[in-house]
Amino acid sequence: MFNLPKRRILRKNKEFQKVYRYGRSYANRYLVLYAFTANGPEGKVGFAAGKKLGNAVTRNRVKRLLRESYRLNQQLLGPKYDLLLVGRKAAVDVKYAVMEKAFLSLVRKARVLGQEAK
């Protein structure tokens, strides 16, 4: 029901850099959200966790938390935005519920909610 198709994921470095460079950033303790108005009919999303967070296992766990937070709440978001979610050091030890709450607060702050979710 709430799947995340591959066509909606940022894959190329060029796409990531465009959202980093031109997107607006919103941050809290656990993650940073970059939002950029998409060119296509539907937006894309990317997930990142830098090496400062720890080893590959730790970074992948943070990215899984970010992906799941997005996946389960994507129906609330407007279709016109490219988003980039970057995990922070505090996200290493948190549970899913905390990450989801942090994600939703940033989405509200960035005003990327769809019309029906407002």
What is the average pLDDT score of the chain? 92
CA distance 74 to 63: 16
What average pLDDT score do residues 25-34 get? 97
pLDDT, residue 117, reads: 53
β-bridge partners, 19: none
Kindly list the structural domains of the chain, giving each domain's residue range(s) and its CATH number in brackets, ordered by start: 6-106 (3.30.230.10)
Q: How far apart are CA 19 and CA 35, in angstroms?
A: 7
What is the SS3 assignment for 52?
Answer: helix
Chain centre to alpha carbon of residue 75: 14
The whole-model pTM stands at 0.91
Q: Name the H helices within 1-118.
A: 13-22, 56-73, 96-110
Question: Is residue 39 pLDDT above 60, yes or no?
Answer: yes
Q: Please write the tens of the pLDDT for every residue from 67-85.
A: 999 999 999 998 889 999 9
